[in-house]
Amino acid sequence: MKIKASACILAAGLFSSFPINYAAMSQTLNQDAAGLGDAQAGSAASALDASIEYYNPAGLLLMQEQELVVGSLLALPTYDIDANHSPSSGAAFSQLPFLHYAAPISPTWAFGVGVSSPFSMHSNWASDSSAAHNSTDTDFSTYDVSVDLAYAFTQKFSIGFGIDFVRVIVSTGGFDASNYSTTYDGTQWTQAWHGGVLYQFTPKLRAGLSYHSKINYEASGEAQSFDTNGAVLQSTNDFVMTSTLPAYTTASLYYQWTPVWAIEGSVNYTQWSQADDVTYQYLPTDTDIISSTTQSYDFNNTWRTALGLHYQMRQNVLLRFGVGYETSPYGDANTVYLAAPSGASYDVSMGCHYQYSKTLAFDIGWTHLFYLTHDVNTDNPVTGETSDGEFSGSNDLIGIGLRWEML
């Protein structure tokens, strides 16, 4: 996509705020390796390990002993855009660690803590690609430290509540206009909350409903613009990016169908319309620093459905399978913006749980996301130029986790 020399660095901030992702936009629904193996199909109801403290803290009452789950997720996306008949490819690598701890306090109370990354994204376009005028190397990360309590009203019904302390980090390694580029970095600690309910219909069937609140943030730091020789043109330590990460709701069912088969399903609803506005303060151009500007998007709230199966192949080996589909977050479902090339997607998952000993187990999961082919029809907010083309891409997510029951 060709941008005129008059395009100011404003476009850097506006376009690079939502790069490639792991679900719709920047949302990372996967916060453990086990759930990566069944497409998170029963995330609010399965309660099979301590990661339930994040997905639905009401499920902490199902933990019989203290338990620790630790591990990491790897994201390996690839994507292509044929913009103005000029093909461009991109790829990015991200690592997302996780930790979940659950502890029963009494028959009616349970406690949990966790560290996760509910929103994260990384895009990396080559500097000579047609997308480099929007973003080259851009990062957006959140680190969520949660503290949870759960209470059982009856043997069948429990509730849970958690407070989230969220670290937001925004960064771009460069935006290439015709005669200058820019970088910015910003961070902030902010707060949010999550909660849920769990109902055990029978020993084999349970349902869960959870809610994660929106996250308001004002990430502040420094920003600079550079000429083509790398000399600083404008610099400020007052840069601020203000926006909202959306609330989302999950409803799940888990059913132990037979002694060796279990089936589960989930529906997720994410309120992306809450993230329509992004405001930038003190954003450098090649000749000036813009005091404040706001870009408004037309995001749709998204739905995701997933179905999963568990098969107890041996006493110490459990296999997991799952499929999922998510709608597009864009106002026009047939259009995808170059800054956030995802749109609608479907995924397939598989994984394995291996019980090494009475107290120690390992989980591995893999999910492949297929991003549906979408039209690209992007208007530059500064020049008004339109870039037409087609986007396609995919993403491989691999998770490895260790589960320790502290008997």
In a domain, 4, yes or no: no
In a domain, 277, yes or no: yes
pLDDT digits (tens, 9 = 90+) for 33-72: 999 999 999 999 999 899 999 999 999 999 999 999 999 9
Using an 8 Å Cβ cutoff, are 328 and 357 in contact? no
In a domain, 338, yes or no: yes
Domain tally for the chain?
1
The pTM of the full predicted model, rounded to 2 decimals, is 0.86
In a domain, 3, yes or no: no
Show the domain range for 107: 10-406
Q: CB-based burial of residue 147 (10 Å sphere; 0-12 exposed, 13-18 middle, 19+ buried)?
A: middle
Ranges of residues in the chain with a pLDDT under 70 are: 1-26, 81-93, 123-137, 173-179, 331-342, 375-389
CATH of the domain at 250: 2.40.160.60
How many CB atoms neighbour CB 111 within 10 A? 18
Q: Phi and psi at residue 274, in whole multiples of 5°?
A: -70, -15
In a domain, 308, yes or no: yes
In a domain, 185, yes or no: yes
In a domain, 41, yes or no: yes
In a domain, 56, yes or no: yes
What is the gyration radius of the CA atoms in the chain, in angstroms? 22
State the pLDDT at residue 394.
Answer: 80
State the pLDDT at residue 173.
Answer: 62
Q: Which two tokens stand for residue 377?
A: 């029809």
